[in-house]
A and B are shown apart, each in its own frame.
Chain A
């Protein structure tokens, strides 16, 4: 199951949901908002999510994980909206009979979530600037359009 939340991810509740008699282990990945990226001080993050397709694609990822690693159970929650430093941005939990499947499936899910779901991350920097992650050249173009020193050049 995957969901998008615009409020804090309830990590303790999610962990309890993963408990199952057949589960011999549980692996979780939490992505946290950190205060630095590529040498720039980050003040907060903003996630834009196109929810209809993020959910559809996310369910595909979880189904793929269950095909590759049978007998696992997986939950993913991704944040939308404004997040502060230290907030949990994404939570992936996988329970399995054995640790190997739990680790591998958890890694598979977070890797696919990061590259396939229509989710965009805008960093707001301490210096007042902002930029879309993975779209530096796009951001440079946007800045040129708003910078009065270069506008019209």
Chain B
């Protein structure tokens, strides 16, 4: 098990009811974190439509996660 701090933004934050939380997960990749926290962020969108960052660096969904990492889950963006 890894302790991961998960940060939620926009609709994900509203859905989770918190902006971040520490969770214990059997996660190897950023995608695992996304999938295993679906009950919290509630995204019906596939991960491919969303973005992820690890420790404040934009990452791929296949990026590995380590114990103590902060994973930022971004719903579909809409700047401009």
A and B bound? yes
Chain B CB within 10 A, most for which of A47, A133, A135: A135
Given the known interface contacts A122-B10, A141-B15, the answer about A114 and B75 at a Cβ–Cβ threshold of 8 Å is no
Q: Which residues of A contact B75 (CB under 8 A)?
A: 120, 132, 135, 138
CB < 8 Å neighbour of A53 from B43, B44, B58, B80: B58
Q: Which residues of A contact B15 (CB under 8 A)?
A: 138, 141-142, 145
Cα–Cα distance between A89 and B79 once the two chains are bound (Å): 9
Chain B contact residues: over half helix, strand or loop, or mixed? loop
Q: Which residues of A contact B77 (CB under 8 A)?
A: 114-120, 134
Q: Which residues of A contact B42 (CB under 8 A)?
A: 138, 141-142, 145
CB < 8 Å neighbour of B11 from A56, A57, A139: A139
Q: Which residues of A contact B80 (CB under 8 A)?
A: 31, 78, 89-90, 110, 113-114, 119
Residues of A at under 8 Å CB distance from B?
31, 47-48, 50, 52-54, 56-57, 78, 89-90, 110, 113-122, 132-135, 137-142, 145
Residues of B at under 8 Å CB distance from A?
9-12, 14-15, 42-45, 51, 53, 56, 58, 72, 74-80
